[in-house]
Structure formats: C-alpha cells, structure tokens
Chains A and B, each alone.
Chain A
Amino acid sequence: MSNKTTLGDKLRTYLKHPGSFIVMLLVMLAALVTFAVLIFLIAYILVNGVPHLTPSLFAWEYTSENASVMPALVNTVIMTLLSLLIAVPFGIFSAIFLVEYAGRGNKFVEVIRLTTETLSGIPSIVYGLFGMLFFVNTLGWGFSLLAGAFTMAIMILPLIMRTTEEALKAVPDSYREGSFGLGAGKLRTVFRIVLPSAIPGILAGVILAIGRIVGETAALMYTSGTVAQIPSSVMGSGRTLALHMYNLSSEGLYMDKAYATAVILLVLVVGINALSSVIARKLTKA
C-alpha cells in the first residue's frame, strides 16, 4: 500500500473541488509574483547599471565633472568599522549577561528584552533625529562620521544582541559543566569555552549588521552629513554609499552614476547576505 498521491489523484480532487483548485492557483500566482518582482528588480538594475561601471567612477577624487563613488565607498568602510567597534562589544557582553549571568525570571532581563524589542522596531528616521539632537547638537560633535557611527551602533545593537544570545543558548550545557568540572571559573568558561563555540552564530549576526549599515540612509543624513569627500578625521562629515546614491538620484544630474552605484550597493548586499547564510549553514551542520 502506498501513501503517495499521484498526479491523477490530485487532478481528480481538484476536479471535484474547483474552489480548492482556484485557491491553489492563487497561491502559486502569489509566489510567482513575489519572486518575479525580486528577479526583475535585480536584473533591471544590473542590466542598466553594469555598463556604467567605468574606471572614472572609481577615481580617487569627487569633482562636479566626475561624480566618483570612491570617497563614498571609503566612508562606508570607515562607518561600518566604527559602528561595529562600538556595537559589537556592547552587544556581545550584554548577551553574555543575559544568557550566562542573569537568572531565570529575572525582572531586569524582562526590561532589557522589552527595550531591545522597542529598539528594533524604531524606524531609521527616528534614530537619525535622535542622533542629530544628541550626538550632533548636544554633544557638539557636528555632522561627523563619529556621530553617524554612534547612531548606527544603537541601531544595530538589538540585532547583534539577539543573534549572540541565540548563539550562546545553542552551546550545550555539557560544555559548561565540563569546564566547571575541570575547575575553571565562570569567566574562564565563558571566554574559553562558550564564546569560541558560539563564534559562527555571532559572526552571522555581525555580517547582517554590516548589511544594515551599508544600506542605511535616513539615519545618516543628519548625523554624518552629506559631504562627498573623505574627511580628514572621524570628526568630519562624509556621505556613505547609500546616501551618495540618494543624492545622485535626487539631483538627477548623474543618473548613469546612480545606476552604477545601485549595482555596487546591490552586489554588496547580496554578497553580505550570502556570506551570512553560508556561515549560518556551517553552524547548523557543525
């Protein structure tokens, strides 16, 4: 006896229940629309943008004749590194506190969980407003990469906390017990045993965070500013790639450059996503 339903069985069922058949068609159609739209978006930008990826696009200096992306690219790298430098230690340490130190049913843990949920729901423009009010004005940093990086750090903090927490929770308790049994202290256990086994999960989260930093615009517009040069220090203003692209397309003067910048952004984001899922897959296999 076989449980397999053949195509003929299916067809007969659908003939008997035309309503079900229509619903099934709708489901297929919706899935088709979703993936067709994604493929069309990527293909459209690649087809229109790749021919504009010229050497002059990567000239070192941004001038009004040649809207080079190079300064924006460098600023993006600086911005990413700075934001990670601030957010990653905080994110990992607070996840360690939540998983390894705080007891079950701790009221403070509830508060932290509520705040991280709140943080991850706040739209980027509100982060931008706050960054402008706090870092730019109140602390007097002016439009600067540093103000932008701190704003981004707060924005990616919940993401890093959550992924690290999940990675730490996935480490089997027997590891910890073994370490304690051999006489290691709590701190040593955390840093020598638990953290190293959680690294792939943490890394996947960090890479996702990089994707968010690279793609961010609204939070950076009024914190890091829109100067199209590489600033001499982190206290100077500089636009990242996404902001550069927004400016290009709203000025409307360099649409071919905007297409090319869209290609760079898209390739970066697709690459980052792929990398993150490869690492996450390694994690599940291990």
Chain B
Amino acid sequence: MKSKAWTEKFMQGVFFVAACASVLAVVLICVFLFANGIPAMREIGFVKFITGELWRPSNEIFGIFPMIIGSLYVTAGAIIFGVPIGILTSVFMAMYCPKRIYRPLKAATELLAGIPSVVYGFFGLVVVVPIVRDFGAFLRQAGIVEKAGNGNSILTASLILGMMILPTIIGTTESAMRAVPAHYYEGSLALGATKERSIFRVIIPAAKSGVIAGIVLGIGRAIGETMAVIMIVGNQARITTSMLEGIRTLTGNIVIEMGYATGLHREALIATGVVLFVFILIINFSVALLKRRADHE
C-alpha cells in the first residue's frame, strides 16, 4: 500500500516537471536571445541601431530601420489584401454556406493553413513574380511609374502574405461570429433588416473583439513569416516608397546573412531577432487581451 502511494506521488511529480517544460522553454528563449542580442545593441548604440538608415556590415554600419519599415510595409500589404477577403469569406462560411459543401470548404481553409511556407514562396516565385513584373512594365509604359522593378517587390510579398494569413483570419472571425447569440440576428431580422444588414450591423459589431484578435493574429503571422518572403521580396536593405521595388524584412535580414556573419555582424543579426521577438511579444500580448475581452462579452 505504501509503495503505491509513493508511485502516485512520484508520477505526480513527473507530470509537474513535464508541465514546467514549456515555462522553461520560454525562459530559455528569452534569456538566450536577449543575452546574445543586447550587447550588440549596446555596442552599436540602441538608437543608432533602431533608427540607422544604413546597413553596411562590411563597414561596421548597422542600422535596421530599413528592415523595420520593410516588415511594416509587407505586413500592411498583407492586411490590405487578406483582411477584407478573409472577413467576407468567414461571413460566407458562417452565414451563407450551404450545409452540404460546408465540410469540404472548412477542410480547404484548414489546408490553406497547412501548406508549408516554402511552397507559398515557390508559388510566388514562379507565378506571382512574373505577373507583377509584367504589371510593372505595363505601368512604366503607361507613364505611371518610373521604375518597373523585376517582380521581386513589396506588392508580390503582400499578395502572398495576404494569402497566407487568410486561414488565420477566417478561423478566428468565423468562430467569433458563431459565438454571437442567435437571438441578436433573429431580432434584427424581425425588425425588418435584411440578412446582409443584420450581419454587418449586428453580428460583426457584436463579434468585434474576436474579429480584431484574428486580424492581430494575422499581423503576427505576416511579420514573422520568413521563407516565403525572402523568396519573393528582393531583399535589398533600403527604404523605398514604390510598391514595385524590393525591400528586406527583419526576418529576411537574419536568414540571408546568418550563414556567413561573424563577430559584431553576427551579434547584430541576433539583435535583429530580438527586435522581431519584442514586436511579436507585443502582438501576442494584445491578442491575449482581446481574447479575454471577447470572452467577457
């Protein structure tokens, strides 16, 4: 009897230790990233590192402002393409979809989330890049833009990222809309509103927190996406205002140069990772807050 009690206690300890693994992982990730990134920031100068507009590793000039702007550009582009289509698609899934085809369509949106980012990047490389290149050439001929670009551009990355965040947005928005009590919708219909008016004036406002959480989650996904982006965005560390030109993102900066970087250059790349990590932590925190609010509503 005594040995049995001991086994119970022992296994409870084992379960507890296993549960600590995720906490340990987060602590380790934070410690190792910050410990390896902050010294470089200090050496370069924090303000100079963040706001410096030049990235010349061979001359020991490390400014990641172009990459921060680059990440913001492609993320904003992804939102512009992905959010309207995502939200409207989730309206379709929640309110219009005939029961018979619901299950295959739902599986299709899940599949969209499961496709690896290299495959998205490859698709962008062989399909979207040539289209954007032709589009740029056409715009130049029409005299709208000066430089046509070679297709590896902010626009290309925005289109692919917009595709990639669709499942995130569709998933969260649809479940938020389904969580709205049915009598809201029925009440609105009973007052004579059309189906569309009821959806966009009653259901979506009621599901607001969940919808916004989905968008923020999509932002997190877009800003952290690496492989698909570096395959199609050109990766030039510069600031540009043309959608048809290439830029470099924070994630791209790390992957492209980590292979051969040494010394301060390498530490500056890790510091780039730290900046990205801080962005992500802020985004995660806002998602958690929004979800909590959605639960209280």
Given A123-B226, A126-B29, A217:B254 Cβ within 8 A: no
Q: Which residue of A lies closest to B222 (CB)?
A: A123
Contacts of A30 in B (CB 8 A): 84-85, 87-89, 91-92
State A211–B166 Cα separation when bound (angstroms): 18
Q: How far is the CB of A248 from chain B (nearest CB, A)?
A: 9
Q: Identify 13 residue pairs between A and B in the complex whose beta-carbon atoms are under 8 Å apart, listed by A's number.
A: A19-B197, A41-B115, A98-B19, A100-B15, A115-B22, A117-B287, A118-B281, A119-B25, A123-B280, A157-B21, A208-B114, A217-B226, A262-B119
Q: Which residue of A lies closest to B82 (CB)?
A: A34
**A contacts, CB < 8 Å to B:** 13-14, 17, 19-21, 23-24, 26-31, 33-35, 37-38, 41, 44-45, 48, 89-90, 93-94, 96-98, 100-102, 108, 111-112, 114-119, 121-127, 129-130, 132-134, 138, 154, 157-158, 161, 185-187, 208, 211, 214-218, 221-222, 242, 245-246, 249-250, 255, 258, 262, 265-266, 269-270, 272-274, 277
* Residues A125 and B114 in contact, CB atoms below 8 Å apart: no
Q: How far is the CB of B262 from chain A (nearest CB, A)?
A: 13
State A17–B11 Cα separation when bound (angstroms): 65
Q: How far is the CB of B216 from chain A (nearest CB, A)?
A: 10
Q: Which residue of B lies closest to A48 (CB)?
A: B126
Q: Which residue of A lies closest to B113 (CB)?
A: A273
Given A187-B11, A273-B107, A262:B288 Cβ within 8 A: no
State A41–B170 Cα separation when bound (angstroms): 18
Contacts of A269 in B (CB 8 A): 111, 114-116, 119
For A24, A27, A158, A277, the residue with the greatest tally of chain B CB atoms inside 10 Å of its CB is A27
Q: How far is the CB of A102 from chain B (nearest CB, A)?
A: 8
Given A34-B166, A130-B28, A215-B118; 5 other pairs, CB 8 A cutoff: A28-B96, A31-B92, A41-B163, A118-B281, A119-B22
* Residues B22 and A158 in contact, CB atoms below 8 Å apart: yes
* Residues A35 and B114 in contact, CB atoms below 8 Å apart: no
Given A30-B89, A215-B116, A273-B107, A130:B18 Cβ within 8 A: no
Q: How large is the interface on B (under 10, 10 to 19, 20 to 34, 35 or more residues)?
A: 35 or more
Confirm or deny: B294 has a beta carbon within 8 angstroms of a beta carbon on chain A. Answer: no
Given A30-B88, A114-B288, A20:B195 Cβ within 8 A: yes
In B94-143, the 8 Å CB interface with A consists of 96-97, 105, 107-112, 114-123, 125-127
**B contacts, CB < 8 Å to A:** 4, 7-8, 11-12, 14-16, 18-23, 25-26, 28-29, 32-33, 36, 84-89, 91-93, 96-97, 105, 107-112, 114-123, 125-127, 163, 166, 170, 194-197, 200, 217, 220-221, 223-227, 231, 251, 254-255, 258-259, 270, 273, 276-277, 280-281, 283-284, 287-288
Given A211-B114, A221-B255, A266-B115, A122:B277 Cβ within 8 A: yes
* Residues A157 and B25 in contact, CB atoms below 8 Å apart: yes
* Residues A23 and B196 in contact, CB atoms below 8 Å apart: yes
Q: How far is the CB of A105 from chain B (nearest CB, A)?
A: 16
Contacts of A31 in B (CB 8 A): 88-89, 92-93, 96-97, 105
State A19–B112 Cα separation when bound (angstroms): 31
* Residues A129 and B115 in contact, CB atoms below 8 Å apart: no
State A255–B112 Cα separation when bound (angstroms): 23
Q: How far is the CB of B291 from chain A (nearest CB, A)?
A: 9
* Residues B116 and A27 in contact, CB atoms below 8 Å apart: no
State A162–B15 Cα separation when bound (angstroms): 15
* Residues A34 and B89 in contact, CB atoms below 8 Å apart: yes
